[in-house]
């Protein structure tokens, strides 16, 4: 089975077992300003794993596009990519260990056809301090499955990775580890705050006997060894416990969260320990061989990095990110620039991003319907960055060469970035690979200059408008208030994925950009208008309070705008009907607003959406007015 077939087979397998296939979340989390990217299938589902009811029921499955910028350093090994797809299935208080383990084993061995003899398992060893038992239930279920398949299932305890390197696998198929096999949002049991759920997990590894253990990692190999002989395919978390002042107690509703790498399972299916050999990645490698007239065998590292980074950048572009100097845009820029830098190693001197991106898009287009409409834009965005950077790279490298003998200071690194657009990390990589000396305090000096620059630019923007508000006349205030009402109404009609991506107000209208994958229907537009007009009629009272930013987001769930950076404290605007217990809208915002919504009816009859159109990939734009 190739990767596309495996993705489909997985979703079908779980659909047949009562799961609803839910759409993927975008790579940029829509309601979680604490992380830059969606890095697992579980992340967008956290509220539901914590008890909120999911509209699609309690058995869910999908293939979630993930980006882990923290894995960028690992690119070049046989099993990590920055972008990857995580196959997921979830039980929200429904089935538990028995079904989950049985199904996953069945999927791997029956559907994908993996050799059960090469499957190895880890389970949680228990925690005596917190009286959490060893997860013998999971291990027992695995043991039964192996027994039925006539496979030995010896068990042993390892505890830590260090012990693993000392003692090897002890001949076991099922190994108990400690914290590696415990999941909670805050890590091991000891580090969890009270009232936090957590539980054991069980991980599945596949043995690639053709990979020899590399003693650089430790004297002996074990399942969690980093040499790449055993590769983790997937991992089932069992949310089983709650930490309380009386210790760990069983949760009334226990959940399953499973995540497995599509790329890795696909690699196992073709008996390749190298994920870059799968059907969604190897065509990119082959294209690079063609363009460079070099072989993958001789240029493995550079080709893996280029293929990985461009695939990541393409998906970021599909999801509406553009290269910039901050946050998601910066990571995208870094991916693109690194890819170009490594193309120089292959001797590719000409522009090549458009060609490779088209290939990547064609690999995913059959399964990602959003690509059809966005591909032109995606290629434009990537090509533009390539044009800018090719010039930068030449100038930057020239500048670096000049500094080669005298060593690099933080000021040099800052200048390279600020004046020549040559990213800090790239300068460091160049320095390391060419043995250019770095001054002892280069990092502090660089950060210091960066901070000074940040302060300068803050001063420069002070006095310009806040909160998308161009002026403070009454009509501006009215449109600002209408914007909040509409934002909330859009989320009620279209869903929680709607996040503000920009707002602009003139005397004539409001303009509002937001994430949503498709054109709104007439009916949806009418419903949004009705909700806004109803709220105007209800004459909601508008007040604001100051809150701790974290509290505003995590406790009050106040809405914010994509990409906004907040300080320690924020103003939260509340729009609430008199006598009602719940606000209609809670939003982080600088203000100002009118005092109550009926003011919006002064001099106009109603709120109306004038236009709904595409703004950029995955982003819609509404213009609306009080007419």
Q: Binding residues for ligand ATP, per CB under 6 A? A: 40, 68, 71, 80-81, 84, 86, 232-235, 259-261, 263-264
- Nearer residue to ligand ATP within complex by CB, 84 or 424: 84
Closer of 12 and 40 to ligand ATP (Cβ): 40
Q: Which helix (H) or strand (E) holds 155?
A: strand 155-159
Rounded to whole angstroms, what are the CA distances from 488 to 29, 495, 544, 563, 570?
Answer: 18, 10, 17, 18, 19
CB 190 within 8 A of CB 173: no
Measured at the CA of 318, the angle between CA 518 and CA 26, to 5 degrees, comes to: 70
Could you give the 3-state DSSP secondary structure of residue 137?
helix
> From residue 437, how far is each of 394, 405, 421, 422 by CA, in Å?
21, 8, 21, 18
CB of 234 to ligand ATP, least distance (A): 5
Q: Which residue's CB atom is positioned nearest to ligand ATP? A: 261
User: H or E element: which one contains 234?
Assistant: strand 230-244
Nearest approach, Cβ of residue 467 and ligand ATP (Å) = 37
CB of 75 to ligand ATP, least distance (A): 8
The H or E element spanning position 570 is strand 569-576
Q: CB of 35: closest distance to ligand ATP in angstroms?
A: 13
| The token pair that represents 152 in the structure block | 């030995």
Q: Is 225 left (phi over 0), alpha (psi -120 to 50) or beta?
A: beta
Least spacing, CB of residue 239 vs ligand ATP, in Å: 14
Q: Which is nearer to ligand ATP, 183 or 584 (CB)?
A: 183
Q: Do 122 and 160 touch, CB atoms closer than 8 A?
A: no
* Complex with ligand ATP: residue 203 or 385, whichever CB lies closer: 203
| CA 208 – CA 493 distance, rounded (Å) | 49
448/411 Cα distance (integer angstroms): 9
CB of 40 to ligand ATP, least distance (A): 6
Measured from the CB atom, the residue of 68 and 439 that comes closer to ligand ATP is 68
Q: For residues 46 and 249, which CB has a smaller minimum distance to ligand ATP in the complex? A: 46
Distance CA 550, CA 290 (A): 51
CB-wise, 236 or 427, nearer to ligand ATP? 236
CA separation (Å) from 115 to 149, 155, 177, 305? 11, 19, 24, 30
Q: What angle do CA 20, 25, 26 make, to 5 degrees?
A: 155
Using CA atoms, how far residue 175 sits from 116, 207, 259, in Å, is: 16, 14, 20
Complex with ligand ATP: residue 197 or 261, whichever CB lies closer: 261
CA atoms of 27 and 4, how far apart (whole Å): 20
Cα distance between residue 105 and residue 110, in whole Å? 8
Backbone angles phi, psi at 145, to 5 degrees: -65, -40
Q: How far is the CB of 105 from ligand ATP (least distance, A)?
A: 15
Distance of closest approach, residue 104 Cβ to ligand ATP, in angstroms:
11
In the complex, least distance from residue 228 CB atom to ligand ATP, rounded to whole angstroms: 9
State the minimum distance, in angstroms, from the CB of residue 343 to ligand ATP: 22
Total residues found in the chain within this entry: 627
Tokens representing 327 are 């946050």
* Residue with Cβ nearer ligand ATP (276 or 342): 276
User: In terms of CB distance, is 172 or 280 closer to ligand ATP?
Assistant: 280
Which among 134, 151, 251, 146 is positioned nearest to 202, based on CA atoms? 134
Whose Cβ is closer to ligand ATP: residue 85's or residue 529's? 85
Nearest distance, CB of residue 334 and ligand ATP, angstroms: 16
| Count of C-beta atoms within a 10 Å radius of residue 158 | 25
Gap between the Cα atoms of 453 and 132, Å rounded: 50
Our CB check for ligand ATP shows the closer of 86 and 321 to be: 86
Q: Assign residue 93 a region: left if phi > 0, alpha if psi is -120 to 50, beta otherwise?
A: left
For residues 90 and 389, which CB has a smaller minimum distance to ligand ATP in the complex?
A: 90
Q: What are phi and psi of 35, to 5 degrees?
A: -130, 150
Enumerate the β-bridge partners of residue 514.
Answer: 500, 620
**Minimum separation from the CB atom of position 548 to ligand ATP (A):** 30
């Amino acid at each position: 089975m190739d990767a596309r077939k495996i993705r489909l087979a997985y979703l079908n397998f779980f659909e047949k077992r009562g799961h609803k296939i839910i759409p993927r979340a975008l790579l940029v989390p829509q309601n979680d300003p604490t992380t830059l990217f969606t890095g697992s299938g579980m992340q967008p589902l956290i509220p539901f794993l914590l008890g909120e009811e999911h509209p699609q029921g309690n058995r869910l499955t999908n293939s979630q596009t993930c980006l882990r910028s923290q894995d960028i350093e690992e690119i070049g090994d046989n099993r990590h990519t920055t972008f990857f797809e995580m196959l997921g299935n979830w039980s929200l208080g429904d089935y538990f260990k028995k079904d989950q383990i049985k199904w996953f084993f069945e999927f791997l061995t029956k559907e994908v056809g993996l050799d059960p003899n090469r499957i190895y398992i880890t389970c949680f060893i228990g925690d005596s301090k917190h009286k959490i038992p060893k997860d013998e239930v999971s291990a027992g279920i695995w043991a039964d499955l192996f027994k039925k398949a006539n496979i030995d299932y010896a068990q042993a305890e390892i505890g830590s990775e260090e012990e693993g390197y000392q003692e090897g696998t002890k001949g076991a198929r099922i190994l108990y580890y400690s914290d590696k096999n415990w999941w909670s949002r805050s890590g091991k049991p000891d580090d969890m705050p009270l009232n936090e759920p957590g539980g054991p997990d069980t991980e599945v590894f596949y043995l690639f006997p053709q990979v020899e253990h590399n003693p650089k990692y430790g004297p002996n190999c074990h399942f969690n060894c980093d040499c790449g002989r055993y590769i983790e395919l997937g991992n089932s978390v069992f949310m089983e416990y709650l930490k309380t002042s009386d210790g760990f107690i069983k949760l009334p509703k226990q959940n399953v969260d499973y995540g497995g790498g599509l790329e890795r399972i696909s690699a196992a299916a073709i008996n390749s320990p190298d994920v870059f050999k799968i059907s969604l990645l190897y065509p990119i490698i082959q294209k690079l061989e063609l363009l460079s007239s070099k072989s993958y065998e001789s240029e493995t590292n550079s080709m893996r990095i280029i293929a990985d980074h461009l695939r990541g950048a393409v998906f970021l572009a599909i999801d509406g990110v553009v290269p910039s100097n901050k946050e998601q845009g910066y990571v995208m820029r870094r991916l693109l620039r690194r890819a170009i830098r490594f193309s120089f190693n292959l001797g590719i001197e000409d522009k090549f991003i458009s060609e490779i991106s088209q290939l990547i898009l064609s690999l995913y287009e059959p399964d990602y319907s959003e690509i059809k409409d966005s591909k032109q834009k995606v290629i434009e965005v990537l090509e533009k960055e390539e044009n800018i950077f090719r010039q930068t790279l030449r100038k930057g490298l020239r500048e670096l060469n000049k500094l080669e003998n005298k060593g690099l200071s933080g000021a040099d690194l800052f200048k390279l970035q600020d004046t020549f657009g040559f990213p800090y990390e790239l300068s460091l990589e160049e320095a390391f690979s060419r043995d250019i000396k770095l001054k002892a305090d280069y990092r502090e000096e660089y950060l210091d200059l960066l901070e000074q620059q940040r302060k300068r630019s803050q001063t420069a923007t002070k006095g310009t408008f806040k909160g998308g508000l161009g002026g403070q006349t009454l009509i501006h205030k009215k449109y600002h208030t209408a914007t909040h009402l509409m934002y909330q109404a859009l989320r009620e009609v279209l869903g929680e994925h709607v996040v503000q991506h920009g707002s602009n107000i003139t005397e004539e209208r409001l303009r509002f950009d937001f994430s949503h994958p498709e054109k709104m229907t007439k009916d949806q537009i009418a419903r949004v208008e009705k909700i806004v007009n109803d709220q105007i009629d209800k004459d909601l009272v508008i007040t604001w309070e100051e809150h701790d930013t974290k509290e505003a987001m995590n406790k009050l769930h106040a809405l914010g705008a994509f990409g906004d950076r907040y300080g320690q404290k924020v103003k939260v605007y509340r729009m609430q009907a008199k006598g009602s217990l719940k606000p209609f809208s809670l939003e982080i915002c600088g203000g100002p607003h009118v005092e109550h919504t009926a003011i919006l009816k002064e001099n106009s009859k109603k709120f109306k959406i004038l236009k709904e159109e595409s703004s950029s990939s995955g982003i819609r734009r509404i213009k609306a007015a009080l007419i």
